[in-house]
Chains A and B, each alone.
Chain A
Amino acid sequence: MKDNTTILTVITYGLLLGAVSVLLNDMREFDFNQFEKFQNWAKTANKSENWFTSKNAIEWSYYAISAGLFFWRGYLIYGFSYFLSILKEIEAGNYFSDKNIKYFNKIGNIFIWYTLNVLILRFLLALIGNATFDFFDELKSEFTFLIPVGLAFFILAEIFKRGKEVEEDNELTI
């Protein structure tokens, strides 16, 4: 079991590093290509125009939403980092620990919140860009599988909760 957890830990580290590097690369590209373009536009924009109704606000909303998308991607990676904590607990022999139950619940929460928020942000982004947003098409897209995965983690947390009770009962059976 220890060998398996070591392999899983190495794989998880690899995936996390990969995800972080992809996110950082996307952020770097976002800054260089798009933010610069926006800065140039801001320099020539009509400053006397009302802020809320201006194109300025719309542009800023676009960047705020894009930043939000980056935040949620980072949050998802943070959720994945809990796999390492779970593996650490398993390595220590604490299978049905309170910590593992808490981590499973947290991962479930993160996965579901990520999907819902990204869905909302994509909708807002489409709204600002005047693009069409098909809710069912978005639901079909690859990232929404995280909702059932999140629910699966909640179920796993419940199973582990019961497992902990059984383990305690077993320990007190002489």
Chain B
Amino acid sequence: MAIKVNLDVMLVRRGMKSKELAEIISITTANLSILKSGKAKAIRFSTLEAICKALDCQPSDVLEYIED
């Protein structure tokens, strides 16, 4: 997988639980789990914006490119 989602790391840094974040950004915990596990095929700008706002971070803190 070329794009790694570092949501877990950011959640630990901010001391926030997955359920809490899911509620803030208005997505289901199941969808957040898909995002965290890297099974998601795409992420909407609106979701990314909401995540960045909730975790007070930049998109680069959440997403990371890893060369295969």
A interface vs B, CB < 8 Å? 169, 172-174
Q: Mark B32-63, 1 if CB is under 8 A from A, else 0.
A: 10110001111110010000000000000000
| Chain B minimum-CB-distance residue to A168 | B41
Contact sample, A vs B, 12 pairs, CB 8 Å cutoff:
A169-B42, A172-B41, A172-B42, A173-B41, A173-B42, A173-B44, A174-B27, A174-B32, A174-B34, A174-B35, A174-B43, A174-B47
B interface vs A, CB < 8 Å? 27, 31-32, 34-35, 39-44, 47
User: What is the distance, in angstroms, from A174's C-beta to the closest C-beta of chain B?
Assistant: 5
The residues of B that contact A174 with a CB separation of less than 8 Å are 27, 31-32, 34-35, 40, 42-44, 47
The residues of A that contact B32 with a CB separation of less than 8 Å are 174
| Chain A minimum-CB-distance residue to B31 | A174
Given contacts A172-B40, A174-B35, 14 further A-B contacts (CB under 8 A): A169-B41, A169-B42, A172-B34, A172-B39, A172-B41, A173-B42, A173-B43, A173-B44, A174-B27, A174-B31, A174-B34, A174-B40, A174-B42, A174-B47
Give CA–CA (A172, B31) in the complex, Å: 8
Give CA–CA (A173, B39) in the complex, Å: 10
Give CA–CA (A174, B47) in the complex, Å: 7
User: What is the distance, in angstroms, from B53's C-beta to the closest C-beta of chain A?
Assistant: 16
User: What is the distance, in angstroms, from A40's C-beta to the closest C-beta of chain B?
Assistant: 72
Most buried by B among A169, A172, A173, A174: A174
User: What is the distance, in angstroms, from B19's C-beta to the closest C-beta of chain A?
Assistant: 16
User: What is the distance, in angstroms, from B38's C-beta to the closest C-beta of chain A?
Assistant: 11
User: What is the distance, in angstroms, from B36's C-beta to the closest C-beta of chain A?
Assistant: 10
Give CA–CA (A169, B30) in the complex, Å: 16
Give CA–CA (A92, B12) in the complex, Å: 41
By Cβ-Cβ distance, the 7 closest A-B pairs, closest first, are: A172-B41, A173-B42, A174-B35, A174-B40, A174-B31, A169-B41, A172-B40
The residues of A that contact B27 with a CB separation of less than 8 Å are 174
User: What is the distance, in angstroms, from A2's C-beta to the closest C-beta of chain B?
Assistant: 25
The residues of B that contact A169 with a CB separation of less than 8 Å are 41-42
